[in-house]
Chains A and B, each alone.
Chain A
């Protein structure tokens, strides 16, 4: 290689690099960075991968329609690896280094609890898209999933009604961590308020990743011999498959002992043969089977996106679910609030979020509460169908206001329905 040749090449490379960096800085000036903070590996990858893809699809869609405030959104995707201390570090990186305007992320309550101090300290914004146990209200978080009164309590009321089978005895079954424990504490207090005696409530927990439900199913069977029983399951994603398999094989049918689950959606049923589960219930704020134009369009958009990007699993059988809807709604609401505020400044966006509304795929117009950072959401109860979808058997006529501080927990009546001023 002659020296001249070499220098020419170097020059070309230098020019190219300069051009690149130029275009990069030009791009950086008119984009808004948004963080997507989900577990893409580890135990929670099953559930959270779809949320990451949904966030990317929504951002791409917003960009195709002109972006926000005339700027394109630039997603910064971070994998928490289902490791919660790491999630806090990654959140710090998103805010400090990447300077994102907002973060959409987390699934488990423990993830939210560990990143929360980071967001509060830096006065940044987090949109949390999953149903949770309440008992929290931060100025820096918008909760687009359900609070207990938007999911758990209506489900139990339904099972007590004539159509739900008039259950008198209750099995509260969950994975051993903060969400099931708190949810069951609220439910126990609620059941007691409805006149259910302590001996008619059985509360059981299993470790994370528990896979042998023989004893528990046998216990449920024995307990059900004492009167019409319903099971309220807060079993976490992965363990549901062995639980339902055992239930089906032990001959416990939904007509005898219905199981209502708060963490089982279309995505969790993917790994299951749904035939033996027909009739068991789930309570959510959205089901894929809901028929309305907004939902049809959204499902089509997702299927096209999944096929175009060849998302594993989703491209052959695209599924939407409640937390995905909450992610989608959250991103759109943030966009609306930014446009209203004319800025991505967290304090201005927080003020502009109050009262934002969005026509959601659930067929309802969801509104962000003026004060409490939670959405007003409809409650839908669905029975599992033979094809892994849900039949909506009951729904609220209108969206319900969230009660992050459940009135069934002592001392909550004194708590304010809005974040504390800092």
Chain B
């Protein structure tokens, strides 16, 4: 069967030269060697009318950086083997072969050329993508191709996209009437690219009627784009808030409930992030097929690693310092330095690379000018899942009951037969484990290095203090509130001033209301 197909393909290939514009060695070389402009011209010539499958394959190889030039001919190089792009025969790789390099301009041109080929693909989704890709830098030379595609197009969405390409070329037409028609077509597409096109036309336009039409279209597009921007600010605020929530949740337990000023909280996050890094390494080494799932395994690993370190800290240092906040502060600060230096010695001072799994890379195009990155969406979800877990443990489980009991009245809890020392260790380990989870999440958006914790420790204390010590709900409101407030200010004043303004706000707020947003009420507050 395959043999039959291959023969058929070969026959088609032999027959094609008389039907389609076949790839010639000269054309291939012209696309691979020389100045940028001449290569782009050669590429446009090659796809101008009915390019054959070989041309497409060659362009794809160019896009994948798999083309080399040797002895005055272009070759496709894969796995150390060379292939003639015209005849398809395999050759030994000549020693003089030099890889062809593409800069951004070339890559853009190659992608546009490939898109032009995809305009005739069988899959409508592919055609739509191709039409969108061709929007950029559309010029009059492309029109015949677009017209041809339009003539045989059946899918309404692809048709619309193709018409927009035509319109973007006609926008610069001689006759005002043609320009008006083009504006009417384009006004329906509220994307930044269209905004740019119309804006550029506006600058050059002299006809009054067209100008007023342009203005109307621009206003309409701006109105719709403004919505995307507003939603964007809310989303970025929620995203920052969810990160603040994650980094502060663990502290809400160790500092909020237990009263331990834990300066090593950031380093516990760092340990979680490094645990994620190690799990990633294990998956890459032993289960490369399941690499995308590494993060799922990293979540419990990060929790356990940090919880274990937390438990050891509590048993060996912190339990001797209960009730002596200043000494706890100094001791945990010292521990944080030791942990950082330890990691620096083992893993090096440099940051380590933690890759996003493929399902967390990229983003969801919610509106033409609003892309919601998947990693942010996942982290928002993750933060609330962790919050739900913590809330459940504290309020619904036996261990949570013990923790609350011990923090409210240690002697009475002890009298009731609660092993308070053990509860302390468990609670501290839980808080530390949650810090580890935060580290696992942070590895997906930021740096993983020995100093990771340092940049979040102040933020996490800020959230807990603002929210009100001893209150989970307060931590949630404070984290989300600070996130959104920060992002609104940042859009308005810039990142540096926003950070200062938020700090000033917190200081002023704490002056007015030292107990934070939500204060503990009742007897336990005075204890």
Residues of A participating in the B interface, judged by any CB pair closer than 8 Å? 40-43, 45-46, 49-50, 162-165, 176, 204-207, 209-212, 214-216, 218-219, 221-222, 224-227, 238, 241-242, 245-246, 248-251, 254-256, 258, 267, 270-273, 276, 279, 281, 311-314, 383, 391, 393
Pairs A-B, 8 closest by C-beta atoms: A271-B351, A312-B348, A313-B348, A249-B373, A225-B192, A214-B236, A45-B349, A273-B355
Q: Which of A50, A211, A279 touches B455 (beta carbons < 8 Å)?
A: A211
A-B contact pairs, 6 of them (CB 8 A): A45-B344, A46-B449, A207-B499, A215-B495, A249-B376, A258-B104
Q: Whole-angstrom distance between the alpha carbons of A42 and B239 in the complex? A: 28
Q: Which residue of A lies closest to B346 (CB)?
A: A312
Q: Whole-angstrom distance between the alpha carbons of A164 and B341 in the complex? A: 43
Docked complex: B417-465 residues within 8 A CB-CB of A: 445-451, 454-455
Q: How far is the CB of B106 from chain A (nearest CB, A)?
A: 9
Q: Given contacts A45-B349, A248-B361, A255-B107, is CB(A241)–CB(B446) below 8 Å?
A: yes
The answer to whether B349 and A215 have CB atoms under 8 Å apart is: no
The answer to whether B229 and A267 have CB atoms under 8 Å apart is: no
Contacts of B353 in A (CB 8 A): 270-273
* Chain B 101-127: CB-based contact to A (< 8 A → 1; otherwise 0): 101110110010000000000000000
Q: Whole-angstrom distance between the alpha carbons of A276 and B363 in the complex? A: 12
Contacts of B341 in A (CB 8 A): 41
Q: Given contacts A205-B494, A224-B192, A255-B104, is CB(A314)–CB(B455) below 8 Å?
A: no
The answer to whether A254 and B104 have CB atoms under 8 Å apart is: yes
Contacts of A206 in B (CB 8 A): 495-496
The answer to whether B361 and A249 have CB atoms under 8 Å apart is: yes
Q: Whole-angstrom distance between the alpha carbons of A224 and B193 in the complex? A: 9
The answer to whether A209 and B195 have CB atoms under 8 Å apart is: no
Q: Which of A49, A225, A276 touches B195 (beta carbons < 8 Å)?
A: A225
Taking A212-B243, A248-B361, A276-B361 as known contacts, 14 extra A-B pairs with beta carbons closer than 8 A to each other, sorted by chain A number, are A41-B344, A43-B451, A204-B495, A207-B495, A218-B232, A225-B192, A226-B196, A238-B451, A242-B445, A249-B373, A250-B373, A255-B108, A271-B447, A271-B448
* Chain B 80-113: CB-based contact to A (< 8 A → 1; otherwise 0): 0000000000000000000001011101100100
Q: Whole-angstrom distance between the alpha carbons of A250 and B350 in the complex? A: 26
Max count, chain B CB within 10 A of own CB: residue among A43, A214, A246, A391: A214
Q: Given contacts A251-B363, A314-B348, is CB(A211)–CB(B447) below 8 Å?
A: yes
Q: Which residue of B lies closest to A82 (CB)?
A: B451
Q: Which residue of B lies closest to A271 (CB)?
A: B351
Q: How far is the CB of B167 from chain A (nearest CB, A)?
A: 18
Q: How far is the CB of A160 from chain B (nearest CB, A)?
A: 13
Max count, chain A CB within 10 A of own CB: residue among B373, B446, B490: B446
Q: Whole-angstrom distance between the alpha carbons of A50 and B373 in the complex? A: 34
Q: Whole-angstrom distance between the alpha carbons of A256 and B136 in the complex? A: 9
The answer to whether A312 and B349 have CB atoms under 8 Å apart is: yes
The answer to whether B362 and A391 have CB atoms under 8 Å apart is: no
| Cβ of B176 under 8 Å from chain A | no
Q: Whole-angstrom distance between the alpha carbons of A255 and B115 in the complex? A: 15
Q: Whole-angstrom distance between the alpha carbons of A276 and B369 in the complex? A: 19
Contacts of A209 in B (CB 8 A): 454-455
Contacts of A49 in B (CB 8 A): 348-350
The answer to whether A249 and B449 have CB atoms under 8 Å apart is: no
Q: How far is the CB of A261 from chain B (nearest CB, A)?
A: 14
Q: Whole-angstrom distance between the alpha carbons of A312 and B349 in the complex? A: 8
The answer to whether B351 and A270 have CB atoms under 8 Å apart is: yes
Q: Which of B105, B344, B350 touches A270 (beta carbons < 8 Å)?
A: B350
Q: Which of A42, A204, A205, A255 touches B111 (beta carbons < 8 Å)?
A: A255
Q: Whole-angstrom distance between the alpha carbons of A393 and B36 in the complex? A: 11
Q: Which of B111, B240, B361, B447 touches A214 (beta carbons < 8 Å)?
A: B240
Q: Whole-angstrom distance between the alpha carbons of A211 and B456 in the complex? A: 10
Contacts of A246 in B (CB 8 A): 373, 445
Max count, chain A CB within 10 A of own CB: residue among B108, B243, B350, B494: B350
Docked complex: B337-374 residues within 8 A CB-CB of A: 341, 344-353, 355-356, 361-363, 365, 369, 371, 373-374
Q: How far is the CB of B354 from chain A (nearest CB, A)?
A: 8
Contacts of B375 in A (CB 8 A): 245, 249
Q: Whole-angstrom distance between the alpha carbons of A312 and B495 in the complex? A: 34
The answer to whether A163 and B36 have CB atoms under 8 Å apart is: yes
The answer to whether B351 and A46 have CB atoms under 8 Å apart is: yes
The answer to whether A242 and B447 have CB atoms under 8 Å apart is: yes
Q: How far is the CB of B470 from chain A (nearest CB, A)?
A: 28
The answer to whether B495 and A216 have CB atoms under 8 Å apart is: yes
The answer to whether B239 and A226 have CB atoms under 8 Å apart is: no
Q: How far is the CB of B496 from chain A (nearest CB, A)?
A: 5
Contacts of A281 in B (CB 8 A): 104
* Chain B 370-387: CB-based contact to A (< 8 A → 1; otherwise 0): 010111100000000000
Q: How far is the CB of A226 from chain B (nearest CB, A)?
A: 7
Q: Which residue of B lies closest to A203 (CB)?
A: B494
Contacts of B450 in A (CB 8 A): 45
Contacts of A391 in B (CB 8 A): 101, 103
The answer to whether B107 and A271 have CB atoms under 8 Å apart is: no
The answer to whether B345 and A249 have CB atoms under 8 Å apart is: no
The answer to whether B449 and A238 have CB atoms under 8 Å apart is: yes
| Cβ of B199 under 8 Å from chain A | yes
Q: Which of A163, A270, A276 touches B103 (beta carbons < 8 Å)?
A: A163
| Cβ of B170 under 8 Å from chain A | no
Q: Which of A226, A267, A271 touches B352 (beta carbons < 8 Å)?
A: A271
Q: Which of B101, B200, B371, B448 touches A227 (beta carbons < 8 Å)?
A: B200
Q: Whole-angstrom distance between the alpha carbons of A205 and B500 in the complex? A: 13
Q: Given contacts A41-B344, A46-B349, A270-B351, is CB(A227)–CB(B495) below 8 Å?
A: no
Q: Which residue of B lies closest to A391 (CB)?
A: B101
Q: Whole-angstrom distance between the alpha carbons of A352 and B103 in the complex? A: 42
The answer to whether B105 and A165 have CB atoms under 8 Å apart is: yes
Q: Given contacts A41-B341, A226-B196, A238-B447, is CB(A205)–CB(B105) below 8 Å?
A: no
The answer to whether A162 and B346 have CB atoms under 8 Å apart is: no
Q: Given contacts A205-B496, A245-B445, A270-B350, is CB(A221)–CB(B363) below 8 Å?
A: no
Q: Which of B229, B236, B350, B362 touches A271 (beta carbons < 8 Å)?
A: B350
Contacts of B373 in A (CB 8 A): 246, 249-250
Q: How far is the CB of A32 from chain B (nearest CB, A)?
A: 28
| Cβ of B522 under 8 Å from chain A | no
| Cβ of B37 under 8 Å from chain A | yes
Q: Given contacts A214-B236, A267-B350, is CB(A312)–CB(B345) below 8 Å?
A: yes
Q: How far is the CB of A199 from chain B (nearest CB, A)?
A: 12
| Cβ of B404 under 8 Å from chain A | no
| Cβ of B72 under 8 Å from chain A | no
| Cβ of B487 under 8 Å from chain A | yes
Docked complex: B465-514 residues within 8 A CB-CB of A: 487, 490-491, 494-496, 499
Q: Which residue of B lies closest to A212 (CB)?
A: B240
Contacts of A42 in B (CB 8 A): 451
Q: How far is the CB of B239 from chain A (nearest CB, A)?
A: 6
Q: Whole-angstrom distance between the alpha carbons of A238 and B454 in the complex? A: 13
The answer to whether B371 and A251 have CB atoms under 8 Å apart is: yes
Q: Whole-angstrom distance between the alpha carbons of A164 and B107 in the complex? A: 12
Q: Which residue of B lies closest to A176 (CB)?
A: B496
Q: Given contacts A246-B373, A312-B346, is CB(A251)–CB(B351) below 8 Å?
A: no
Q: Whole-angstrom distance between the alpha carbons of A40 and B340 in the complex? A: 12
Q: Which residue of A lies closest to B136 (CB)?
A: A256
The answer to whether A215 and B490 have CB atoms under 8 Å apart is: yes
Q: Whole-angstrom distance between the alpha carbons of A312 and B449 in the complex? A: 13
Contacts of A383 in B (CB 8 A): 103-104
Q: Which residue of A lies closest to B373 (CB)?
A: A249
Q: Whole-angstrom distance between the alpha carbons of A250 and B370 in the complex? A: 8
Contacts of A162 in B (CB 8 A): 36-37, 105
Q: Whole-angstrom distance between the alpha carbons of A330 and B455 in the complex? A: 34
Q: Which of A212, A216, A313, A393 touches B347 (beta carbons < 8 Å)?
A: A313
Q: How far is the CB of A42 from chain B (nearest CB, A)?
A: 8
Contacts of B103 in A (CB 8 A): 163-164, 279, 383, 391, 393
The answer to whether A225 and B371 have CB atoms under 8 Å apart is: no
Q: Which residue of A lies closest to B448 (CB)?
A: A271
